[in-house]
Structure 1
Amino acid sequence: MSADPGWSEWPAPAKLNLFLHITGRRPDGYHTLQTVFRLLGWGDTVRLRVREDGGVRRIGASVAGVAEADDLMVRAAKLLQSESKTPLGADIAVEKRIPAGGGFGGGSSDAATVLVALDRLWGTQLGVDRLAELGLTLGADVPVFVRGDNAWAEGVGEILTPIDLPPAWYVLADPGVHVPTAALFQAPELTRDSPPATMRDFVSEAVLDNAFEPVLRRRERAVEATFAALAQIGTPRLTGTGSGCFVEFADRGSAEKALALVHRDAPSLRAWLAAGVRSSPLREAIVRS
């Protein structure tokens, strides 16, 4: 499709939450949290083609049964269109690699890529701050993908402080469980009052846990089985509010050896490698465009 006239390709990278604490609840019902977002050099590919008639269309099959009107990519394009008053439209397609419901940020990243790339293609020039504000109305994880930095996050995930993370490689695993986020936040056993952590706590590895891990491990056999499979290669962790799991390694060679062990001993588990990156591949693509 990218070879067809007018189409361009843009990366939509996945993310990991290197820890995740819930520190309270706001009067509007939203939970406040602390986390560190790590961007990855792996993810989806979004394809865009500018339309002169103002139409916004999703091309290709639906993503996980999501109706076109509800698709975050379509909503992102229409939001930017409305905000900028551009007469232009877009055809939108996506090559999905990030599993839905895994906590790897696929839907949010796809939406952010549409916002950032169409801002360039349409010449709307809203700038990253306004795009991040628009992205927040689509989802709490969208701003980190718009801004493109690894970040310490607070609030509902939108108060972002860029953070420099050392190089790392990850063995990622997908238990195949689609987790409804709203149901998890309502779980009575969820810890909602963790004391606020500091960046120093994170750097010293005093906080590396995810508040949703014990909930999911008790509720979902597939998640517990994935933790057991990954425990042979390191310390498994959960990402976000999904079922996706990961183990961190300092270098690619160590991660490759670990992945080979997982494939040998748990051949039915979907597991693969991804590199942590210093900044978003989307940002680099925008600079090159």
Structure 2
Amino acid sequence: MIRSLKHCLAPAKLNLFLHVNGRRADGYHLLQTVFQLLDYGDSLDFDTRDDGVIHRVSEVSGVPAESDLIVRAAKLLQIAAAQKHGKHPLGADITIKKNLPMGGGLGGGSSDAATTLMALNHLWKTGFDRAELMAIGLRLGADVPFFIFGQNAFAEGIGETLQPVETADRWYVVIEPGVQIATSLIFSSEELTRTTKLVKMADFSGHQDYFGKNDLQIVATRLFPAVAAVIHWLQQYGDARMTGSGACVFCAFEREEQASKVLQLVPKCWKVWKAKGISSHPLKDLL
């Protein structure tokens, strides 16, 4: 029996575009977006326990263990497994190395939760398939099912309707402006445009570079001048735009050397990194 999994990547995602098409009666926004996985993210280690305890070994600044999505994900899986199989005695020690900022629009917490569900489903032999794990993940957040889906996706609805999409082979420069943005702050703004016309996946596939926009960006840049400053600087080198509800900003490049060159020019006041776009989640084959 496998007792541990080490160095499990919880990859970052970028929203290559993000359109807000409307709002449902329950307040949820209707969206269209393309999720792009990156070969950069948080790293998690999992060690099985026989006493049922879920223990987060690492300290995460500002995030108590009981409210951490990785702990909540593990406990949800325990409950689901007990409902499916009867008593579930296994627990886990979980160690996390955080590389992704909170409030960055990179899906860090959601990706951590998805990696936890996939890894522990494998270690605990709970036997859930991808669709079942996605349903469990949806209880933790709208982005969690995408990471379990395991490949780049054209997403619609409130983000739960996913279709596989092929994206261009690109390198990305990602800049962290040094601010955290709460998603609820952006979506609750009266300045947010909610009437962008629907597009088809084929529209994106045929014109990926410079396609669409991020409807949340105009709100975020007005509220957070630091985000506007990063976009203005990075636009010298290409189609710089914000991911998710912010705060991180990215720009795509065809070749690694182009990304590396820009990386060296970024002002020292901002944290910056480069990453390669990947087509599938590193743990996809566990399901």
TM-score bin, normalised by smaller chain: over 0.9
Deviates most, 109-118 or 230-239: 230-239
Map 1:212-251 → 2, pairs under 5 A: 212-251=216-255
2:234, 2:187 → 1: CA distance?
26
Structure 1 stretch displaced more, 37-46 or 232-241:
232-241
Gaps of 5+ in 1: none
Q: How does 1:80-119 map to 2 (within 5 A)?
A: 80-85=77-82, 86-119=88-121
Matching residue's letter, 1:279: S
User: In the aligned structure 1, how far is the partner of 2:251 from the partner of 2:97?
Assistant: 25
**Pairwise CA distance, 1:261:** 2.4
The separation in 1 between residues aligned to 2:264 and 2:52, in whole angstroms, is 49
Partner of 2:9: 11
Q: Which of 62, 66, 70 is 2:67 aligned to?
A: 70
**Aligned amino acid, residue 173 of structure 1:** I
**Which residue identity lines up with residue 90 of structure 2 in the other structure?**
L
**How far apart are 1:222 and its partner, in Å?**
0.7
Q: Distance in 1 between matches of 2:226 and 2:16?
A: 21
Give the aligned partner of residue 253 of structure 1. 257
Alignment of 1:142-153 (within 5 A): 142-153=144-155
* Counterpart-to-counterpart distance in 2, 1:225 and 1:78: 41
Matching residue of 1:58: 56
Percent of pairs with identical residues: 46
1:164 CA drift (Å): 1.1
Q: Shift of residue 165 of structure 1?
A: 1.2
Give the drift of 1:36.
Answer: 0.1
Code of the aligned partner of 2:277? G
- 1:107-164: CA deviations, max 9, x gaps? 0000000000000000011011100111111011101111110000011111100001
Structure 1 residues 7, 159: CA separation in 2 closer, same or farther (over 3 Å shift)? closer
Residue 217 of structure 1: how far off its partner (Å) = 1.1
1:35 aligns to 2:12 (yes or no): no
Counterpart contact for 1:13–1:282, Cα < 8 Å: no
- The 4+ residue runs of structure 1 with deviation greater than 4 A are none
Question: Aligned to 1:184, which of 164, 183, 186?
Answer: 186
Q: For 2:13, what is the secondary structure of its paired residue?
A: strand
Once the two structures are superposed, residues 249-277 of structure 1 have per-residue CA deviations (whole angstroms, 9 ceiling, x without a partner) of: 11111111122222xxx122111100000
Q: Distance in 1 between matches of 2:5 and 2:32?
A: 38
**Which residue of 2 is the match for residue 280 of structure 1?**
281
Aligned: 1:45 with 2:65: no
Q: CA deviation at 1:8?
A: 2.8
What is the deviation of 1:6? 4.8
Cα distance, 1:181 vs structure 2: 0.8
**Match 1:171 to one of 149, 170, 173:** 173
Letter of the aligned partner of 1:244 in structure 2?
Answer: C
Bigger mean CA offset, 7-16 vs 105-114: 7-16
CA offsets 1:66-91 (integer angstroms, 9 cap, x no match): 22111100000000000011221111
- Structure 2 unaligned segments of length 5 or more: list them: 83-87
Counterpart position of 1:194: 196
**Would the aligned equivalents of 2:105 and 2:244 in 1 still touch at CA under 8 Å?**
yes
Q: Which amino acid aligns with 1:55?
A: V
2:5 and 2:139 mapped to 1: Cα distance?
27
The residue type equivalent to 1:36 in the other structure is V
